[in-house]
Amino acid sequence: MIRNIAVLLVFQLAGETLARGLGLTVPGPVLGLAGLFALFALRPAVADRMRETCRGLLGHLSLLFVPAGVGVTAHLTTFGADGPALLAALVGSTVLAILAGVFAFLAVAQLTGSEAAEEPSDG
């Protein structure tokens, strides 16, 4: 467990270092993700060993956004008079972006014949 967390931190740190060093816009943790993925592809045994730790963290991903979410409530006044318009733009564009993404995915999947195999629901 400690070893697995250390692996995650090492890849994050390497990603941050690379992003800063090369002045990339990609966040360090995303580069770390790519690096760890490459390690898994080379050494599948590492993926098996880290499975429980990764699943544990991702199973409670929601928790990790709570502190930032509380920060939002402290800054709601920054909206000022534009509040209702900004909220309308947020909700409208999020709905439209999800729909555009889903339908583009399904259309191209159908064209290229890569439709999903039936998968049972997780419940």
Partner 1 sequence: MDEAVDLWSYLARDPMLWLTATLLAYIAAERLSEMAGRHPLANPVLIAVILLAALLTATGTPYATYFEGAQFVHFMLGPATVALALPLYDNLARVRASLLPMAAALVAGSLTAIFSALGIAWALGVRGEVLVSLAPKSATAPVALGVSEAVGGQPSLTAVLVILTGITGAVVATPMLNALGIRDWRARGFAVGVAAHGIGTAQAFRVHSTAGAFSGIGMGLNAVLTAILAPLVVGLLL
Looking only at residues 44 through 73 of this chain, which bind partner 1 when binding is defined by CB under 8 A? Answer: 47, 50-51, 53-55, 57-73
Interface with partner 1 includes 20 (CB under 8 A)? no
Least distance in angstroms from the C-beta of 19 to partner 1: 9
Q: How big is the chain by its Cα radius of gyration, in Å? A: 20
CB 116 within 8 A of CB 109: yes
How many chain residues bind partner 1 (CB under 8 A)?
Answer: 83
Which residue lies nearer to partner 1 by CB, 21 or 75?
75
User: How buried is 113 (Cβ within 10 angstroms: 0-12 exposed, 13-18 middle, 19+ buried)?
Assistant: exposed
Enumerate residues 79-108 that contact partner 1 by CB under 8 A.
Answer: 79, 82, 84-108
